[in-house]
Amino acid sequence: MPVPSAAPLAATASGGGAVPRHVAIIMDGNGRWAKARRLPRIAGHRQGIEAVRRTVEGAPTLGIEVLTLFAFSTENAKRPEDEVNDLMGLLRHYLRSEIGTLHKNNVRLRFIGEYRRLNPDLVELLESSAERTRLNTGLTLVIALNYGAQDEIVRAMQSIAADVAAGRLDAKTIDAALIDRRLDTADLPPPDLVIRTSGEQRLSNFLLWQAAYAELVFTDQLWPDFDTASLAAALAEFATRERRYGGI
């Protein structure tokens, strides 16, 4: 369901309604934002970083405990090499310029996906950033890098299969809770709300297992234009939903 305009709903979201603990966002529309302004795609990605900054700052003020951002998918690696290099360069810049502020603001940073397959210098930066903020107790900011949900589930199944083959695990004891513990998001609550910007209405291989009972909100707004008011509007829409988890 598309989100209505943000301004009249911001107060509602911060009022007394249900607030999701975990919000996940598919950040889409950087390229279209740039194309509409006759700018190179990298300009859209740069503005997308500004939207990340605004959203990370705004999330705790709205009561969100965990914010997961889909930054780079396994499929994104098929894009032109120059664009991939630009994206990784922006990620380096964001971490180097923002890690001090994130730490000061008590944000705990972590990464999911096959990010260790990225360039070694970037992997070192990612892991040192996560380690620096590991003991923080405020917002948990999860960045999905080189992430695909199908790949994540396959890796979890391979881990379980190896334990069964080695006799460390009885196949009859495999249940949803065990699979949860083998996923990249182990120890995080499942997302209550998944937001996708730019008008597309699909999950695109993002948190397929974890989002089984998540509410979905789609907005036509392009990611570079997203801000705290946009997030508040999505939360206001979430507060109107009745979540029955298969019950009556």
Residue list for the binding site: 28-33, 41, 45, 73-75, 79, 196, 202-204, 215
Q: Which of 28, 184, 192, 227 is catalytic?
A: 28
Indicate the annotated binding residues for Mg(2+).
28, 215
Does the active-site annotation cover 28? yes
Q: Which of 76, 105, 136, 205 is catalytic?
A: 76
Does the active-site annotation cover 119? no
Q: Do 213 and 191 meet the contact criterion of CB atoms below 8 Å apart?
A: no
User: Is the sign of the CA dihedral 86, 88, 91, 93 positive or negative?
Assistant: negative
Q: Which residues contact 200 (CB under 8 A, 6 or more apart)?
A: 26, 28, 218
Indicate the annotated binding residues for substrate.
29-33, 41, 45, 73-75, 79, 196, 202-204
Q: Do 43 and 34 meet the contact criterion of CB atoms below 8 Å apart?
A: yes
The amino acid at 30: N
- Neighbour tally for 163: CB within 10 Å: 16
CA distances from 60 to 56, 63, 182 (A): 8, 5, 28
- Closest among 82, 83, 64, 85 to 19, alpha carbons compared: 64
Query: Which residues are catalytic, by number?
Result: 28, 76
